[in-house]
Structures are given as structure tokens and as C-alpha cells.
Amino acid sequence: MVGIKTADELNKKFLREGMWPTIFCNGCGHGVVLEYTFWALEELGLDMDKVIFSSGIGCSSRLPGYINADGLHTTHGRAIAFATGIKAADPDFHVIVFTGDGDCAGIGGNHFIHAARRNIDMTVIMINNFIYGMTGGQLAPTAPLGSIATTAPYGNIEHPFDICNLACALGANYVARWGVSHPYQPIKSIKEGIQKKGFSLLEFLAPCPTAYGRRNKLGDIKKHWAWYDNNTILKEDLEKIMKYGTEQEKEQVKEKIPLGVFQDIQKPGFFEAYEKLVDRLKEKESKPKGAKK
Amino acid sequence: MKYKRDPKRIREVLGKKVQFILGDIACVYGGLLAGVSFFGGYPITPASEVAEGMARRLPRVGGVYIQMEDEIGSIAAVIGAAWGGSKSMTATSGPGFSLMMENYGFAVMTETPCVIVNVQRTGPSTGQPTLGAQGDMMQVRWGTHGDLEALAFAPSTVQECMDFTIEAFNLSEKYRNPACVMTDGEVGHLRERIVIPDEKDLKLIDRTPATIDKKDFIPFTNSQTIKNCKVPDFPTFGTGYRTYVTGLTHNEKGFPATDKQPDHERLVKRITEKIMDDADKLVMVEEMNLDDADIAFVTYGATARPAESAMEMARKNGMKVGLLRLKLVWPFPDKLITKLAKDVDKIIVPEMNLGQIVHPVNEYACKHCEVVSAPKIGGEMHLPMELYKYLEGK
Ligand SMILES: Cc1ncc(C[n+]2csc(CCOP(=O)(O)OP(=O)(O)O)c2C)c(N)n1
Ligand code: SF4
Ligand SMILES: [Mg+2]
């Protein structure tokens, strides 16, 4: 039951009045992730009074400003910790965090790790553009080997961070990575992430032509966007090729970034476990002292 | 289930009306009485007992306790919980307080009510973890970047640890500014008798919620329900006001407004004036023997205890010595200090640091009298005899 059919109708419903135009450059991928999120929210039909956004600092972290909903635009790297408190205050909230690769995998890495480990009920949407966009193109922890940043002028020699891998290892309930050129799977995946109890991570690979593309000779905006199609592969396809493919086929795909759902499990979320603890204490104390079980 | 303060349940969990407990635990009691429903903390001596006390009791009253990954996360979660409608607090000591500074400023800028208990220990850096100090008294005022007003209490007794935690919640809710209980390792680890106030004697203040029509609501401006009040009404997340809250300089609607001087000045002036307009009303001091005093101690927190003993020794020996104890150190009671400086010949400021609050004392004494710093560091309190020597001018 989707009432809304066009992007215009969608924007009218979900965009915050008075904040337009956005700060985003031409060809920036962040707006697409916002649009996907709107479609997911529309299809879920959630009460938007109870959907609360939190974000850190960066271009990607500006997204909650454009959404007609409560939003806490916090400090660099800390959005997930703020979101933990928001959710603790009211179990009816759906808490969604927008964050960047610098914000989440860099300065905020520790908060990310522990929220995932605790399985805190929230949906983290991390937009990975391989760069610190807002501050003008400094090296990000996700930057591919050899890529150029203002603070890696001779090419990056650090190994890039695979944040999905990390989230899986921590036992997060839902982990997925997508790009921004094919809407259907990502929108479905955002829906799954939001509906999931416990911690879900959605990583989006999104172009930043201004601070990354230009410097890394990815060409004009169109070519830059095409880079993502040429350098990613669906996880299932990758697995098939690695299992059944020829050496040549394997060689062709082994450097590509896998997309898809990497983890989808049902561990109890933190607040579910916490509520059980509260109930257990209540029950224990309501029994007369000395009574046996 | 969303937390609802249940006075009967809180009292069941706290136990007897009269108890003999640690200062840190008294902070827990104060928080619970005030209606705290979220505590985010990280262990650090000598403040860990606050977190431990909360971990034991908060789930029993239906609140949420989380041990966060660090103090940056603790204060972040505390601020998030406040926006979700909780009364929330954390507790820490010097190293953790230093880590909290950025988000402390965020709470000021976003006008978020919350309480930080700082059980001070010596520094800089790791210092003497188990020993008390008063070295963060300027940090609470100036430690985060930019302009702000601090709300900072300094308890001298275990009873005050509880009472001032309640009061910190009250001021923080009233002014929508973080409030700090600047206790120290001495008082925090002291065991004393406390009397838990009855429910009818508790005066609790809650933030004024936004109630006006959603389309007329302006989130970052003077109250729209209380006349001449510079504290905005609070649009609790989830109540439909759909507020954007940012640490960037913002206009009255809450939208980023980062490139124009007047926007910043208007915002920061309002968030400082909302407190300073009331500064004279906020003064909380204890005056002892000041009527005829020639010499006065101006002191606070644990240090007030040996200072009081020194005063009593001096009085026995015929010296006219008084004491002004600051219960709320920030906002600073400037007018009171100026008046005192006119009345006495000398003010002595004992502190467990190399001289911090002596600076505003000196500033507001306006050269009307001599101001002497009586510092002591290293995790030991002043001995009364040491302070007595200052009275003798030695
Ligand atoms: C404590 C702190 N350190 C540094 C900064 C400066 N800063 C602002 S945004 C940013 C990087 C953001 O990168 P990312 O999260 O990847 O977002 P993007 O702009 O690429 O979307 C940095 C370093 C800051 N605001 N706060
Ligand atoms: S700098 Fe990059 S990330 Fe930021 S808005 Fe421009 S394109 Fe997007
Ligand atoms: Mg980035």
C-alpha cells in the first residue's frame, strides 16, 4: 500500500521545509541515499513522529537536516553514542543514524564497535565516499590503497577499512552494502534494516566528485558514477565465480567490492535484553523474602 | 516502557530514611530522587561507585543504566537520552571530564538539560587516581571551547552530595544547560550520615515542555509559554515537533546559520544571559561568623572543612575570623565577594589546587582588601593548623 508514486510527492512528504537547497555538490551521492531512505520509510508507513535521526559531522551527517523529523546533529564521530541514549529514553523510537566513513569508521570507530557488539536497536546508514568530503578531501580510513587525498598526496599506503566485515564479526543483526545507482535492492535493504531489532548497518558506496573523484582522475561526474558499477559485484555473483569460475574470471573480480546482505540474524537487541532484566528484578522482589522458587 | 517516576518505588530502592553512606552513593540517591532515568558511565576512580550504585538501583526503578565505551560516549548518550525525554546523568573524574569537554559544549549549545558529577582527583593527566583534588574548577567554567556559563556545585558533606545532585537537576532543567556537581575524592569517598528528604519536602523542577501549536512553535528562542524567559520550551523528541537540533550556530528555528555574525551573537548571548540574568538569585553560600570578621576564608567543597576548624581555633584565641562557603561556585557570587572585601581586611582562599577560584575572588574583591591564596596539592587536604598559620600571617 504505497500512496506516493513520484519523487516530487515523496519529497513533499519527507523533506523539511525551509532547509532547501542542500549543501551538496553536483554529482554527490548523499542525496540519493536520502531518497532511498524516504522510499523505505514511505513503504514501511512508520509514524514519522517516532522516527528519530542522529548524525555526526560531515557532508553525509547533514542529511537529517533535510528530513521533516526530529534530528540530533551531534559532534564528529559520536552520533551512534548519542543515538544509544535517544533509544534508551523511549523504546517506541526508531532511531536512524546517518554517518560518513570518516565519522563512523574513523573518529567514531569505537562507538560503532560497541553499539554493534551490544546490538543496540538502531539503523546506521554509513555513506562511504572514500574521503573526508566536508573538510576538503583528507585521507579517510576507507580510502583504497594508492588513492590520492590532500593528506596522502603521494598515494595512500594504509589498508582500507571494511566496515561490513567488522560489523559481521561483532555480531550485528543486519549488515549490508550497496551502491547508489540501482534503487530496488537498497530500498528493500533499508526497510529490512529499520524493521530489524538490534543493530543494523547499511553501508553505501557513494561518489564524492569534488573531493575524491577530481583528485583520483575518475573523470567527469558520469564517469565517476560508472566507476562504481565497474568496480563492485553482487556478493552472490562473486561467491559463484570464486567457486566455479576460471582463473581468468577470478582474476577479473577479485579486486571488486562485494555488495549485498552480509548478515541477517536475530540475536536479541540490547533493549529487549534490558527489559527482561528489569522484569526479572521485579519478579524477584515481588516474591516474599525467603520464599523458594 | 517509557520511564515514569514512581516515588514509592524509589524510596523502596533507597531504603531507610537515615543512612551512613559514601559521598558517591549519595550522588546516586540524589539522582534517583530527582527522577533520573538514564545513566551512561565509564569506570574511573574515585567516581566508579556512582556508576556501580546506579547499575544496582536504576534497573530496579525501571530506568536504564549503560556502561558506555568511554566518557565521550557516556556524555553523548546522556544528551541523547535528555532529548528523548529522560532526566539523565553521568559521573566521572578528571581524565573522563577532560574527554567530555567537547560534548559538554554541545549540551550548552543545544540547551540540553543533563547532570555531570565530577569526583575530582589530582592532575594533570592520570595524576593520583585515588586522591582528591579541586583542580577542575576552572575547567568546568572554561574547559570547552567558546563562550558559555557554567552551573557548578561543590558539596562539602555527604548530605550535600545528595542534595546538590538534586539541585543540579533542578537548575539544569530550569535553564536547559548542563549542570555539574564538582565533588572530589575526599567527599566522594567519605562516609557520613545522611537524611533522605520526604517526598513532600522535595522540590523538583522539570523543563518546560513545548505545548503550543506545532506550526507556531519556535524551538530556539525565548519561552513561548513563560513571559520574559530566555529559556526555550523543550520539544521532547517523539512528541511531534520535529525539531532539528545542531551544535552548529543556528537560527531560532534551529537551522544552521554559520556565516553571519548577528546570528551567532544572538544565540550565544541568549544562552548565557538566560543564566546570568538570574545570577543574583542563584547565589548559594553558607556564611559563618562574618558579621564582625576581620579575616575571611572563602572556600568550597572538602576544603571548607579544615577551614572551618581553623576558624574555630582562631575564634577561641580571640581572632575575628569568618568563613564564606560557596555551595554553587559557578555562576560566581561576584557582588557578595565585593561586599565581603569591603568588610574585611583579608580574604584567604584555601583550595586543593595551585590557585583557581582565588582568581575570581581577587577580581571581584576589587582591591578593597588583601586576597591570599592558600593552595595545597598532592591529594592531601589542608590541615586546620596549616590554615591557621595563614590567619597568623605566617
Ligand atoms: C572533533 C572534530 N575533529 C575534526 C573535525 C573536522 N571535520 C569535520 S567533517 C570531517 C570529516 C567528515 O568525513 P566523513 O564522515 O567521511 O563525511 P563526508 O563529508 O565525507 O560525507 C572532519 C575531519 C570536527 N568537526 N570535529
Ligand atoms: S564535498 Fe563531496 S561529499 Fe561533500 S557535498 Fe561535495 S560531493 Fe558530496
Ligand atoms: Mg566521507
pLDDT in tens, B197-228: 999 999 999 999 999 999 999 999 999 999 99
- B7-40 pLDDT, tens digit each: 999 999 999 999 999 999 999 999 999 999 999 9
Does the pLDDT at position B279 exceed 80? Answer: yes
Please tell me the distance in Å from A243's CA to the nearest CA on chain B: 40
- Is the pTM value of this prediction over 0.90? yes
Q: Which domain holds residue B306?
A: 284-391
Neighbours of B384 (CB within 10 A): 18
Give mean pLDDT, residues A208-215: 96
φ and ψ of B300, to 5 deg = -160, 160
Report the pLDDT value the prediction gives residue B359, as an integer from 0 to 100. 98
- Dist. CA B129–CA A98, nearest whole Å: 38
Give mean pLDDT, residues A138-151: 98
Report the pLDDT value the prediction gives residue A275, as an integer from 0 to 100. 96
Query: Over chain B, what is the mean pLDDT?
Result: 98
Domain ranges of chain A: 7-286
- B243-260 pLDDT, tens digit each: 999 999 999 999 999 999
Report the pLDDT value the prediction gives residue A292, as an integer from 0 to 100. 54
Does the pLDDT at position B161 exceed 70? Answer: yes
CB contact under 8 A, B237 and A90: yes
Q: Which three cell numbers stand for residue B337?
A: 565577594
Q: Which CATH number applies to A7-286? A: 3.40.50.970
Q: What is the CATH number of the domain that holds B146?
A: 3.40.50.970
A247 CB-contact burial (10 Å; exposed 0-12 / middle 13-18 / buried 19+): exposed
Q: What is the CATH number of the domain that holds B381?
A: 3.40.50.920
Percent of chain A scoring above 90 in pLDDT: 95
Ligand at minimal distance from the CA of A98 is 1
Domain limit, last residue, from B145, B175, B201: B201
- Dist. CA B66–CA B217, nearest whole Å: 33
Largest CA-CA distance found in chain B, in angstroms, rounded:
70
**Can you give the three-state secondary structure of B311-341, one letter per residue?**
HHHHHHCCCCEEEEEECEEECCCHHHHHHHH
Q: Is A131 in the pocket of ligand 1 (CB under 6 A)?
A: yes
Report the pLDDT value the prediction gives residue A291, as an integer from 0 to 100. 58
Q: Determine, yes or no, domain membership for B227.
A: no
Please tell me the distance in Å from B159's CA to the nearest CA on chain A: 28
Q: Which three cell numbers stand for residue B107?
A: 549540551
- Dist. CA B103–CA B132, nearest whole Å: 25
Query: Over chain A, what is the mean pLDDT?
Result: 96
Beta bridge mates, A123: A96, A200
The radius of gyration of chain A's CA atoms, rounded to the nearest angstrom, is 20
- Dist. CA A164–CA A204, nearest whole Å: 11
* Amino acid at position B22, single letter: L
Domain limit, last residue, from B172, B201, B230: B201
Report the pLDDT value the prediction gives residue A258, as an integer from 0 to 100. 98
Best residue among A103, A125, A147, A215 to mutate for probing ligand 1, ranked by most atoms within 8 Å of CB: A103
- Dist. CA B181–CA B148, nearest whole Å: 17
Cβ contact B234:B210 at 8 Å: yes
Where does the pLDDT of residue A28 fall: very low under 50, low under 70, confident under 90, or very high at 90 and above? Answer: very high
- Dist. CA A2–CA A139, nearest whole Å: 41
Give mean pLDDT, residues B119-125: 97
Does the pLDDT at position B149 exceed 60? Answer: yes
Best residue among A23, A55, A57 to mutate for probing ligand 1, ranked by most atoms within 8 Å of CB: A57
Q: How far is the CA of A33 from the centre of ligand 1 (A)?
A: 19
Where does the pLDDT of residue A1 fall: very low under 50, low under 70, confident under 90, or very high at 90 and above? Answer: very low
Nearest CB partner across the interface for A69, out of B84, B85, B242: B242
Indicate the number of domains in chain B: 2
Does the pLDDT at position B165 exceed 90? Answer: yes
Match 580510513 to its residue by C-alpha cell.
A141
Same domain, B187 and B296: no
Q: Which three cell numbers stand for residue B196?
A: 533522605
Assess A273–B contact: CB distance below 8 Å, yes or no: no
Report the pLDDT value the prediction gives residue A33, as an integer from 0 to 100. 98
Same domain, B140 and B289: no
Q: Determine, yes or no, domain membership for B253.
A: no
φ and ψ of A232, to 5 deg = -125, 165
Using DSSP's 3-state secondary structure scheme, residue A136 falls into coil
- Dist. CA A279–CA B26, nearest whole Å: 26
Give mean pLDDT, residues B266-282: 98
- A217-273 pLDDT, tens digit each: 998 999 999 999 999 999 999 999 999 999 999 999 999 999 999 999 999 999 999
**CA A100, A106, A107, A113: dihedral to nearest 10 degrees?**
90
Q: Is A30 in the pocket of ligand 2 (CB under 6 A)?
A: yes
A146 CB-contact burial (10 Å; exposed 0-12 / middle 13-18 / buried 19+): exposed
Report the pLDDT value the prediction gives residue A4, as an integer from 0 to 100. 84
Report the pLDDT value the prediction gives residue A5, as an integer from 0 to 100. 84
Match 530550569 to its residue by C-alpha cell.
B174
Domain limit, last residue, from B158, B175, B201: B201
Does the pLDDT at position A74 exceed 90? Answer: yes
ipTM score assigned to the predicted complex: 0.98
